[in-house]
A = this chain, B = another copy of it.
């Protein structure tokens, strides 16, 4: 009875540094060919090996500014007052129309901005099992100074204050479990009445003809 193709979801995923967002998103994509990462626009120069349209859409500052004025971004940010990064609305909508679920992995500020631009987005906060686990994970990376770790830890604490503003919280204790829980959220959100308007309308034509 669902005549038209299911519209994909926009999944906005946030969580503090060290919580394992990247691994979670990778696992989701590996297990579900239908799930894709959103590709951002940026004004920064391509690095070696980066491909336009795959890693980023590379834009000149003028192009980016014009897109801002046209309201072409679900969210954007001016990082350190130098480079712009933004999520192009049309690109996300085209992929959703084709039935793909699109992941936007983004910080809490960007997430709030994107949710406002796209109210039917699903926001998911990835939480650590505890603050002490998070600290252990940050130290465990072994790539940063004590001071850098402290700074990340403070930033993580600030980010955690936003978790109540998200639709869902998934605790990443064991990765496989967090992946399954995120898949359950995706499955359930696809069953929302508000996302099945075609089905609802198909039952409203009157029944005398049946």
**Nearest Cβ distance between residue A177 and chain B, in whole angstroms?**
11
Report A174-208 CB contacts with B as 1/0, cut-off 8 Å.
Answer: 00000001001101110111001101101110010
Q: Which of B1, B191, B207 contacts A157 (CB 8 A)?
A: B207
Query: How many residues of A are in contact with the other chain, CB < 8 A?
Result: 41
A166 at the interface (CB under 8 A from B): yes
**Nearest Cβ distance between residue A157 and chain B, in whole angstroms?**
4
Known: A169-B199, A184-B184, A188-B185. A210 touches B132 (CB 8 A): yes
This chain: how many copies in the complex?
2
Roughly how many angstroms separate A193 CA and B169 CA in the complex, as a whole number? 5
A5 at the interface (CB under 8 A from B): no
A108 at the interface (CB under 8 A from B): no
Q: Given contacts A127-B199, A167-B192, A188-B189, could you give 17 more A-B pairs where the C-beta distance is less than 8 Å?
A: A1-B129, A135-B210, A160-B204, A163-B193, A165-B193, A168-B188, A168-B191, A169-B192, A169-B193, A169-B196, A170-B191, A171-B199, A181-B188, A184-B187, A185-B188, A185-B191, A187-B188
